[in-house]
Amino acid sequence: MSFERSPVSESSPNPVDSVPAFTAFGLHADLMRGINDLGFTRPTQIQAMAIPPLMEGRDVLGAAATGSGKTAAFLLPILHRLMARPRGTTRVLVLEPTRELAAQVVEHMDLLARHTRLSAASVFGGVGMNPQIDAFRRGFDVIVATPGRLLDHMQNDYARLAGLEVLVVDEADRMLDMGFLPDVKRVLAQLPVRRQTMLFSATMPAPIVELSRGLLHDPVALNIHRKAAAAKGITHAVYPVAQDIKPALLVELLARTEYDSVLAFTRTKHRANRLADLLEKRGVACTRIHGNRSQTRRTEALSGFKDGKFRVMVATDIAARGIDIEELALVVNVDVPHVPEDYIHRVGRTARADATGMAITMVSPEEEDDMRAIERALNTRIPRERLEGFEYNRKIEERFEVPIGVRIAEIRARKADERARSREKADRKAAAQPGQGARTSQAGAAARPTQQGSSARGAQPVAAARSGQSGQGMRPVASGSSGRPGVQGQSVSQAQPSRGPDRSRDASFAHPGDNQRSQDPVVQSRPQHAHEPVRQPSSDPRRRTVTRDRVSVPVAPQDVSPDRYLVSRPAAEAPAAVTESAHNPRHASKPSEDSWFRSALSGRSSTHRLGGGSGS
């Protein structure tokens, strides 16, 4: 924000007498006190043109050069309008393209409204949302926001902005371009239709004017036909130099000049980081600001640069709009911008409010076309300069820009190192607890049944042996069907029943471990019937082998030999087994030859009854 402390410069088309004092606008007395405290008496040209129609409530489409005071041109009429309104409702929304510009507008409003009770809040990303939510709920008079974060809030009822009366789209050429237009349209769709709308920008090309016609109602056009031009007080210079020599040339220029604050612009974030690192290695106090930096880091960098902590601030075009630094004397374009309007915004950081400044542009051979386009837009030929005593053919010690392939390889190597360190950390943690793995293995072994018998293999998990044979699930077996004395109807397994016979218990299958299983005191082999189909092992990885929990069986003291379990039952005990299995027909020791009885025993039919024929 800037005001003229003296009459309009000679470059102004208006004579001095045509520019009124602020008292002629009829602003509120409390606002005039704030203006007087800042020491300003006469408005700038854009302020003199914009304030009267805005005081009348008209829509305005205004174009003004960077640093001409357009921020105050829309703030003063808005603050005057709000003085008569009750507090507690957000009535003004200002859309800005960058976080820095949003914070700057709030700062300027606080200075102008210091003697009023009006309140303003900035809403942008990179910071916490709770203070912003509180500002919406409390109904701050003015909300200055970036479109992206504002849309996040508008998904909630507290940010409906039903009482909105004024909308300001600042830096309209950037807000309405292909990158910001969708978000701006979504914001406009949620705002009240009856409102006063203002569009301001340093440049206003014809396509932007056409787009703005759908947003404004009978607007007052201010300087929309003005050709884009830099401020009159800027001295331009061009230094032809190779790309990789640019950092060294900048260091030499800083050593030969006495500029206290220098703003250096690069084309990309990577080049901004590289330039800042190279300057720091050469002892230059510098900071950096670009989109990949957090809002806290960006605020700290801008604050340190304004306070004089850093002599150089390296920035991308994010800083070309939204940085208001008093007495910034030198702007260096390390990279030539692709668009002439960006050049105007960059150099517009200096020579603000009719001051003077210097703009230096380093041009490599591949950037000559962009430089000629800028000269055509400025309608002037910028002189080429050469720094005497500087070695333009010096040997390159370090490349200015690292190739993208090398950067990707470095990122991948860094990620691989991080993964390796994570594995080493996990291994050290496991080694610090040597007994943990053994205890886990013992616990798992205790939960699995062991095989008992005369085989030299000793105890083996039943689940592992069965999964190798058929992959079939295991049916619970009643201990009463085994014919052992002293066990009546006790279940030896909690496994889910499976459909069909259990091939893993068939003695006719020759498989390692069958001997151990046939000698198991709990598991009794069930004979395989020749007419039953043979099922192949399941290859489904989702099929899981079911293991049994073992139930201890009481054994008489006088009979402790394991050979007792190998004795076959006499045929005379078969009727008893059948009778005993009548309580649980699925586990009968010897099924009949009838197919319906066999189906009932295998669990394939729930309708058949023992001795009931077909069960009909």
Domains in the chain with CATH codes: 16-222 (3.40.50.300), 234-406 (3.40.50.300)
Please tell me which residue, 242 or 39, carries the higher pLDDT value.
Answer: 242
Report the number of secondary-structure helices (H) and strands (E) in the chain.
Answer: 20, 13
Residue 166 backbone dihedrals phi, psi, to 5 degrees = -135, 135
Q: Which secondary-structure segment (H or E) carries 61?
A: strand 60-63
Residue 223 confidence (pLDDT) above 50: yes
Residue 406 confidence (pLDDT) above 70: yes
Q: Which of 88-97, 144-153, 519-528 has the lowest mean pLDDT?
A: 519-528
Please tell me which residue, 238 or 353, carries the higher pLDDT value.
Answer: 238
The count of other CB atoms within 10 Å of the CB of residue 81 is 18
Residue 507 confidence (pLDDT) above 70: no
Q: What is the pLDDT of residue 65?
A: 67
Residue 546 confidence (pLDDT) above 80: no
Residues 183, 174: Cα–Cα separation, whole Å: 12
For residue 563, the one-letter residue type is D
Residue 537 confidence (pLDDT) above 70: no
Q: What is the pLDDT of residue 336?
A: 94
Residues 66, 556: Cα–Cα separation, whole Å: 105
Q: What is the pLDDT of residue 119?
A: 95
CB of 392 within 8 A of CB of 245? yes
Lookup: tokens for 460: 């083996």
* Strand, helix or coil for residue 525: coil
Please tell me which residue, 352 or 77, carries the higher pLDDT value.
Answer: 77
pLDDT digits (tens, 9 = 90+) for 362-381: 999 999 999 999 999 888 89
Question: What is the spatial order of strands in the sheet that 196-201 belongs to?
Answer: 120-123, 142-145, 92-95, 166-170, 196-201, 60-63, 220-222
Q: How far lies 208's CA from each of 176, 215, 557, in Å?
A: 7, 11, 103
Instruction: State what percent of residues in the chain have pLDDT above 90.
Output: 33
> What confidence category does residue 509 fall into, taking pLDDT thresholds of 50, 70 and 90?
very low
Residues 532-558, mean pLDDT to the nearest whole number: 50
Residues 2, 66: Cα–Cα separation, whole Å: 10
Q: What is the pLDDT of residue 610?
A: 45
CB of 285 within 8 A of CB of 312? yes
Neighbouring residues of 432: CB distance < 8 A, sequence distance ≥ 6: none
pLDDT digits (tens, 9 = 90+) for 420-469: 999 999 998 888 886 655 555 555 555 454 444 444 444 444 344 444 44
Q: How far lies 236's CA from each of 249, 360, 378, in Å?
A: 17, 6, 11
Closest CA relative to residue 341, chosen from 52, 49, 21, 66? 66
**Cα radius of gyration (the chain):** 43
Q: What is the pLDDT of residue 109?
A: 94
- Using CB atoms within 10 Å of the CB of residue 448, give its burial: 0 to 12 exposed, 13 to 18 middle, 19+ buried: middle
Residues 381, 238: Cα–Cα separation, whole Å: 10
* Average pLDDT score, the chain: 74
For residue 596, the one-letter residue type is W
Instruction: State the SS3 of 91-138.
Output: CEEEECCCHHHHHHHHHHHHHHCCCCCCCEEEECCCCCCHHHHHHHHH
CB of 258 within 8 A of CB of 290? no
Q: How many residues does the chain have?
A: 616
The count of other CB atoms within 10 Å of the CB of residue 518 is 15
Residue 24 confidence (pLDDT) above 70: yes
Closest CA relative to residue 200, chosen from 191, 192, 208? 208
Residue 526 confidence (pLDDT) above 60: no
Residue 15 backbone dihedrals phi, psi, to 5 degrees = -75, 170
pLDDT digits (tens, 9 = 90+) for 280-312: 999 999 999 987 888 788 888 888 998 889 999
Residues 519-532, mean pLDDT to the nearest whole number: 48
Residue 69 confidence (pLDDT) above 90: no
Q: What is the pLDDT of residue 595?
A: 57
Q: How far lies 214's CA from each of 183, 197, 207, 225, in Å?
A: 16, 11, 12, 19
Cα angle 549, 550, 552 (rounded to 5 degrees) comes to 150
Q: What is the pLDDT of residue 88?
A: 92
Q: What is the pLDDT of residue 191?
A: 93
Q: Which secondary-structure segment (H or E) carries 181?
A: helix 181-189
Q: What is the pLDDT of residue 445?
A: 52
> What confidence category does residue 477 fall into, taking pLDDT thresholds of 50, 70 and 90?
very low
CB of 214 within 8 A of CB of 182? no
The count of other CB atoms within 10 Å of the CB of residue 583 is 12
Q: What is the pLDDT of residue 405?
A: 80
Please tell me which residue, 259 or 526, carries the higher pLDDT value.
Answer: 259
Please tell me whether the overall predicted TM-score, pTM, comes out greater than 0.75 for this model. no
Residue 589 confidence (pLDDT) above 50: no
Please tell me which residue, 78 or 222, carries the higher pLDDT value.
Answer: 78
Q: Which of 12-16, 91-95, 312-316 has the lowest mean pLDDT?
A: 12-16
Residues 35, 22: Cα–Cα separation, whole Å: 9
Q: What is the pLDDT of residue 213?
A: 80
> What confidence category does residue 521 fall into, taking pLDDT thresholds of 50, 70 and 90?
very low
Residues 583, 489: Cα–Cα separation, whole Å: 9
Pairing of strands 357-363, 330-333: parallel
Lookup: tokens for 43: 């408005």
Residues 94, 140: Cα–Cα separation, whole Å: 13
CB of 284 within 8 A of CB of 254? yes
Residue 4 backbone dihedrals phi, psi, to 5 degrees = -80, 125
Residues 161, 155: Cα–Cα separation, whole Å: 12
pLDDT digits (tens, 9 = 90+) for 335-345: 999 888 888 88
Residues 170, 152: Cα–Cα separation, whole Å: 20
Q: How far lies 413's CA from each of 271, 402, 416, 554, in Å?
A: 21, 16, 5, 65
Q: How close are the terminal C-alpha atoms of the chain, in Å?
A: 97
